[in-house]
Structure 1
Amino acid sequence: MKYAFLFSIVLFTNLQAFTQSFTVKGTVISEESEKPLPYAQVAFYPSGSDDISAGSTTDGQGEFSVQLAPGKYRFMVSFVGYEDFTRDIEVASEDANLGKIAISKNVEVMEEVTVEGDEVVRKPILTTMEGMEIRPDQTIANIGGTLLDILRNTPSVNVSDDGAVSLRGSGSTNVLIDGRNSALATDLEQIPASAIEKVQIINNPNARYDAESDGGVINIILKQGEDLGTKARAEVTTGTRWRTNANFNVSRKTEIFSIYGGYSYRNWPRVGRGETVRETYDNMERLKQFTADERHDKEHTVNYGTDYYWGQNKISFEGVFNTEKENDLEAISTTLTDMQTSENLLSYVRNNNESENNYTTDNALIYERSFDDKEQSLRALTSVSIRGQEEDQAIDVYNNALIPENRNPDRLERSHTNEFRNTSIVQIDYVQPLSIGKIETGYKSTFRNFLNDYTYEIYDEELEDFRNQDSISNQFDYSDQIHALYGIFSGEVGEFNYALGVRAEQTFVRSELINTNEVNTQQYLDFFPSVQADYALNEENTLKATYSRRIDRPNAWMLNPFPDFADSLNVRIGDPNLQPEYINSFELGHMLDLGRFNLTSNAFYRRIDGQVDWIVRVLDGISYRGPQNLNVSNLYGVELINTTEITDWWVVNASYSIFEVQVDGTNLDNSFTNRGLSWYAKLTTDVSLPWGINLQLTGNYFAPEIEAQGRDLARYYLDASLQKHFWDKQLSLSASFRDVFDTRNFAGENYGPDFFQSFEWKRETQILLLTASYTFRKEL
């Protein structure tokens, strides 16, 4: 690691490009008052690119001055409370004065582009009235990674070791792809970071969004066509254990059509280890399990799309196709001892060889109509998202051993899983401006189907063949329909903006355990109001308040009552009678923008009726883990998000969240009551080093977090990255050092009246990644 770090610095410092430059200056003024605007943000983008070449912040007289190489640029001015201003310019062979640039006021809070001098000030987090917006390309640590890596570096978001995502302490979030429910969201690790344009975090969504989930909405916006012209980009990442991630994207856009596509290859081997210790007090036994895991994962992803424009109409087709082949080896060594005598009661090794073949496809047809009034719009879409998974397991069991000896296994087991998911959507949204505000309304129908066919067999010595285990093998068929209507009225009174909405959702659920003919149906109609308001105290300070009522429906896995015996001593089992959670969520926030210092503060509260938690019960030495409805849980806390430009070459992005969780599960057992304080902090600091090198350090800390029967323990780690651009940023080289001190793990504790259990899982997270990317541009 040390030598690789030094090698990267030497590599970057010896590759430099020298270009003649000219001075471009101007003055930014308010169109209404014609007065200069100090601290407005100015940026210059090469034509056909979203990478900033240079920029500045206006001084006290509204003036700016930057150095630019000859070429064509898209010039942009941003200032809080004003509309963004853009103009195409060309720098030829002399200095240029753009004169006075007048920008007009806008009641909406605009996205910020923060730049200073010739160096980009990285601002990966843009706070908005609904939450925040994440620009993945502004965090070097994301390069060569996946969507999960982006979320790990995102405020409010917590990603567990198995890829589960939680938002502000809630494990239930509605993850959308381009605003749609998609099968891609079932495996976020399959989406490469290079394919993502931005990530929207909506903590308290209004009636426009599905009422699903208590944590909020995470909307993943994939890259599509770029500006006018042709653009292509290639990126290759290689790392320790010969990890490989290669991407190629190309787009072509004219005045009447655009077409884009991309291909990604990912080969991501990894290893891991785990330990579980469980003590049961009714029989005074101690169980110890040691797990060694090895995974080989290869994926191919193709994304594609086209747009066609005529008049005020646009029709689009967009899609993604992914295939994945995975081979895993999991070895579990188990010992069971008497806690009083230390006598060894049981020992065995269970080797599980697993092969998996998956595919995911997501396609959408979208129609959009614009009008002379920019506030008026019509959008309709239909989409189909499918995921198929086929998995085979071959299990060898060696009794009375901790290390497999050179002998045949004592028992042979095998299983086969065939899984199919289908999500289809029909949706239409319309916005109509009025003299006193505007009305948004829409309709959406979602049809989902989940079919799981699981076969489990044990080798029979007498038959000399595998025998099906009817008590474990099962077929589970789940389907639901959600039909929704919503309406939102929004308006303004001076500096006060508000939006009042309500969403109605009719839900139909049907689940069937085919081999036992057990059918469970549910249907219910719910109404979900939402309120949003903000008030601009002045150009630097804005207050906001939001409320929403939401629902979190149990998924198919939670409803499947058949046990999962992947580990015979730790069994997962669902409940077909599980009921949805109902959530009331409140938030009060303040946004402060002082140019070089930005601070967003949010106080939030959530009450969850019917809270679903995973409950562990130990019977005859076997742990059974399953979801159950509790009475209620309450969560309240405070979140701070800050960006500070300390100097022209040093910028810090920091976030901090602290929250109290109270869980009441006395409807199940008086012991299922818990409360605790948890917090987490994330820090990204960017330093512009000599020779045009950017250094970025990203640190994360997650304090212990409680559950009904225990808690997850603290996690913390640090990533370090270097990046340098060449040839007007067409070529970029970067090196990322993940988990520099090898501290990232996942551990926790569970307990009940008759048992205590602790676990720790550690995957290989200390890795080095080297990435090279090149952008090809051709203007019209």
Structure 2
Amino acid sequence: MLPKPKHLLFLLFSGLVFIGLESVTAQETPITIKGEVVEQGSGLPIAFATVMIGDNETKKPITGATTGDDGTFSIETTANNFYVEIGFLGFQSKTFGQPTTRTAIMDLGKVILEEDAEQLEEVVVAGEISRTEFKLDKRVFNVGKDLSSTGASALEVLNNVPSVNVNIEGQVSLRGSQGVQMLINGKPSILASEEGNALGTLTADMIERVEVITNPSAKYDAEGTSGIINIVLKKEERKGLNGSISVNTGTPAGHSVGVSLNRRTEKFNLFSQLGVGVRDLPTDIENTNLNLIDNTSVVSTGTEYRNETYYNLVLGTDYHINDLNVLTLSGNFAMEIEDQPSTTDFASFEGADQISQWQRTEVTEAKNPKFQYELQYKKNFDEDDDEHTLLFSGLGNFFGKDQSSEFFNNTISGEDNDATQQTRTDFKESVFTFKLDYTNPLTDKITLETGAQYVLNDVSNDYELNNLENGVYVNDSTLTNIFDYKQNVLGVYSTGSYEGKKWGVKGGLRLEHTNLSTYLATTGQANNQDFVNLFPSAHASYKFTDMISIQAGYSKRIYRPRMWDLNPFFNPRNNFFIRQGNPDLQPEFTDSYEITSIYILGKASLNFGVYHRYTTEVIERVSTFEDNVTTVRPENIGTNNSTGLEFNAKYSPAKWLTLNGDFNYSSFSRDGIFNAQEFDFSGDQWTSKLMTKVKLPADFDLEMTGNYQSSYRTVQSKIADILFLDMGIRKNIMKGKAVLNLSVRDLFTSRINESVLTQIANNQVTNEVFNRRQRGRFVALGFSYGFGKGEAMQYSGQRRR
């Protein structure tokens, strides 16, 4: 429903302070108009409401003002034929005529404004559904009031973004590739790292949008062979006091409370967020190691628990030095306290005969503190041009893990497997990022960008394993070490772009110097790498009509091995399936090409694209098998050619129904050799999502999201397909100020990750490893309430936008 004409006029001038627009009548003496604006019912003052004095004949504004924090106003005019209109977005405006007898003061007293249901409905609809926008070199997924975000973590939000998938272990892939660079607010961050459950401390209520950059320009860090995913967090900038609170509960345990507050004055914008919660993440596991040479096997089944208590605090301020200069200081602290009481049952077989049986119990406790702090300075060179800017930022991140574990083997039958182990992990990572970006729009169509970035990464992992022997813990020196990892990357870039009404083009070049070193203290093994690389990028777009456009892009990317890719030590949760790192691992390089077309056809919007990626020094997980123990570690194996097509669509055939679809298909060809074994093969894979949103009577909304991921091959494994459904229902209450949500993830408990790993020697299959993991159904109930004086907002488990 459209606002009434007078509301459109009022909204046009809302929030502006009118200066110098008085219609002066020399014959009249000035008159001062004053009063206080409050909400109906609560009687609370409304800050920054607009007071407009208009001409009775032309209906045009003469002058105006906004109310203060206490809702009061005072305005002076010399007009002799005027009216006064007072209003605020989301409220019904009120109009007063001038007094019949002119006096020096016109006191309107308390002006009570009532909420305008029609305006509120329009605001609700604007941010109701997550939607995707297309830019010259990226796609922007704006996080709306999707039910799938109820009480969700950032990983669950990502799983609803087109082209992005998140598996049961939290690994993020883009177009089927896991070589993704994760950023927070455009910068590397501990919160986006793979250590611990870092992204789990970011909840949906903190996220404003997700930017998917499949072919990044040279302005961006070259890290990530399949592209960049940038999570942009909310930071309110509305004047007055704004806030929100959300409460969630669920089963398995998923209880949290979140509070957001924002205070905006003329000079300062103060923002804060606080989240506290507990969650249980049980995972059912089955694993079989089958030796086909001697027909022996080891079978393990059990449940791994990851119980967490977490805290997240964000504090920050923007200081508007003047209209051209802004200084921002912000900090984030997060803490996870983990408890992992897991039990696994083991059995060994010779053929079909069980030889022995034992149970392995794990007791693990860990504390994972995370700190992030940033100082940012932004300068605008022209009040009339927001694009001519200089931006400097210094960002510091710290992540730590203080973990201790005990493992107890208790023999049930057969040979003696009794054993007790202790492990200790002291992990520390510090990352410092310094960025300088300069943007200069030389004309309305031509823009130049240049800048530099320096990233320093310092990691230390102190790991120790002890075995209980004759009542005394004895250190296992072969599994005890200190692993140090340092990586410094200096990058400089320059880009130029032209964007006209019909077509645009953008080109750039980035140079990066990488210095990487690893050191194993006990063995004295050191590995140093130093290399310089050029990373070009090119983008073009052409608009045939307002409804049809096409984009093309190219970029060169790099994937540098992470600390856990390089660290050779492991957690002995399952002694028969071990994952290790490889200190000699080399980086991957990818050349990426794509063409994307966009169509807007009435009630439907379509996006169709094709892409090709050529990757060298491909990193693959390769397994070896000995004494029924499978050891998996990453290796550089040959090249990969991948070609794919992608289709996204949104269709609203009726006001009460919206459909969103996402389909991605790719075929690939692998060429490689490792330890005299060839790994040449080809294959394909595809993924699809379909979200259906239905508006029901009584202001209920129903949402269902179906996901399918096809089976696919890796160098040694076949991954089974997955089909699962999420759904939820939402009810707006309290005139849209509050929302109740009920969501169910994996409704039919069909999200099961299964794989079969096959090892071959001398052209003969020597063993197979079957692995099955399942999280199960999650149910969440949430309540959210938003409040504020800045302007009418809508809130659903996230800060109002």
TM-score by length of 2: 0.81
Alpha-carbon offset, residue 528 of structure 1: 0.2
Matching of residues 100-499 of structure 1 within 5 Å: 119=125, 122-129=128-135, 130-186=137-193, 187-311=198-322, 312-339=324-351, 342-372=352-382, 373-401=385-413, 410-435=418-443, 437-461=446-470, 464-492=471-499, 495-499=502-506
**Percent identity over paired residues:** 25
Matching residue's letter, 1:126: T
Residues 323, 357 of structure 1: 8 Å contact kept: yes
CA contact (8 A) 1:354 1:391 kept: yes
Q: Indicate the SS of the match to 1:521.
A: strand
Residue number in structure 1 paired with 2:546: 539
Mapped partners of 2:228, 2:584: distance in 1: 26
CA contact (8 A) 1:437 1:490 kept: yes
What does the per-residue CA deviation read over 1:103-155, in whole Å, with 9 as the maximum and x for residues that have no partner?
xxxxxxxxxxxx98985684413131333222333311111111011012221
SS of 2:522's partner is helix
Q: CA 1:537–1:123 in 2, change beyond 3 Å: closer, same or farther?
A: farther
Bigger mean CA deviation after superposition, 470-479 or 272-281: 272-281
CA contact (8 A) 1:116 1:648 kept: no
* Alpha-carbon separation, structure 1, partners of 2:162 and 2:301: 34
- Count of residues in Structure 1 that have an aligned counterpart in Structure 2: 678
Is the 1:535–1:543 Cα contact (8 Å) retained in structure 2? yes
Summarize the Cα distance change of 1:201–1:275 in structure 2 as closer, same or farther, 3 Å threshold.
Answer: same
Residue 93 of structure 1 deviates from its aligned partner by 5.8
Which residue of 1 is the match for residue 743 of structure 2? Answer: 736
Q: Is the 8 A contact 2:361 2:409 kept in 1?
A: yes
**1:122 to 1:776, Cα distance in 2 relative to 1, 3 A:** closer
Distance change in 2, residues 1:24/1:683 (3 Å): farther
SS of equivalent to 2:148: helix
Deviations 1:24-64 (A, max 9, x none): 7879xxxxxxxxxxxxxxxxxxxx99xxxxxxxxxxxxxxx
Give how far 1:727 is off.
Answer: 3.1
Distance 1:477 1:499, change over 3 A: same
Q: How does 1:381-780 map to 2 (within 5 A)?
A: 381-401=393-413, 410-435=418-443, 437-461=446-470, 464-492=471-499, 495-562=502-569, 564-753=571-760, 754-764=766-776, 766-779=777-790
Q: Kindly state the Cα deviation for residue 294 of structure 1 after the two structures are TM-superposed.
A: 2.6
Structure 2: any 5+ residue segments left out of the alignment?
A: 10-44, 47-66, 68-86, 96-120, 761-765, 792-801
**Residue of structure 1 in register with 2:795 after alignment:** none
Counterpart Cα distance in 2 of 1:627 and 1:432: 44
Relative to structure 1, is the Cα distance of residues 502 and 459 closer, same or farther in structure 2, using a 3 angstrom cutoff?
A: same
Q: Secondary structure at the match of 1:378?
A: strand
Q: How does 1:39-54 map to 2 (within 5 A)?
A: none
Following the alignment from structure 1 to structure 2, what is the Cα–Cα distance between the partners of residues 526 and 315? 34
Alpha-carbon distance in structure 2 between the residues aligned to 1:230 and 1:457: 55
Residue 769 of structure 1: CA displacement?
1.2
Equivalent-residue separation in structure 2 for 1:88 and 1:609 (angstroms): 59
Q: Quote how far apart the aligned CAs of 1:438 are.
A: 1.8
* CA contact 2:127–2:145 (8 Å) conserved in 1: no
CA distance in 2, matches of 1:672, 1:336: 31
CA distance in 2, matches of 1:118, 1:352: 49
Tell me how far apart the structure 2 counterparts of residues 396 and 292 of structure 1 sit (CA, whole Å): 15
Tell me the SS of whatever aligns to 1:127.
strand
TM-score normalised by length of structure 1: 0.83
CA shift digits 1:179-230 (9 cap, x unpaired): 1111111221121111111111111111011101111111111111241111
Alpha carbons of structure 1 residues 24 and 348: separation in structure 2 relative to 1, 3 Å = farther
Structure 1 residue 346 displacement after superposition: 3.9
Whether the 8 Å contact between 2:287 and 2:300 is mirrored in structure 1 is yes
Residues 608-660 of structure 1 show CA distances to partners (whole Å, capped at 9, x for unaligned) of: 10100000111222111000001101111111111111101111111111111
> Match for residue 101 of structure 1?
none
Q: Does structure 2 retain, via aligned residues, the 8 Å contact 1:637–1:657?
A: yes
Q: 1:173 to 1:197 in 2, by over 3 A?
A: same
SS at match of 2:477: coil
- Which structure has the larger Rg? 2
Shift in Å at residue 279 of structure 1?
1.8
Cα distance in structure 2, aligned partners of 1:563 and 1:121: 45
Q: Structure 2: which amino acid aligns with 1:269?
A: D
User: What letter is aligned with 2:152?
Assistant: G
Do the aligned residues in 1 keep the contact of 2:741 with 2:783 (CA within 8 Å)?
yes
Q: Give the aligned CA root-mean-square deviation in angstroms.
A: 2.6
Letter in 2 for 1:158: N
- What SS does the corresponding residue of 1:255 show, helix, strand or coil? coil
Alignment partner of 1:376: what SS? Answer: strand
More off after superposition, 494-503 vs 381-390: 494-503
Q: Is the 8 A contact 1:661 1:706 kept in 2?
A: no
Work out the CA distance in 2 between the residues paired with 1:277 and 1:89. 63
Q: Is the 8 A contact 1:486 1:504 kept in 2?
A: yes
Are 1:127 and 1:600, in contact at CA under 8 Å, matched by a contact in 2? no
Q: Residue deviations 1:400-425, cap 9 Å, x none?
A: 449x9xxx993211111010011001
Q: CA deviation at 1:94?
A: 8.4
Q: 648-657 or 663-672: which moved more?
A: 663-672
Alignment partners' CA distance in 2, 1:558 and 1:89: 53
**Contact 1:614–1:627 at 8 Å: present in 2 too?**
yes
Residue 220 of structure 2 aligns to which amino acid in structure 1?
Y
Aligned residue identity for 1:432: N
CA–CA distance in 1 between the matches of 2:151 and 2:678?
A: 46
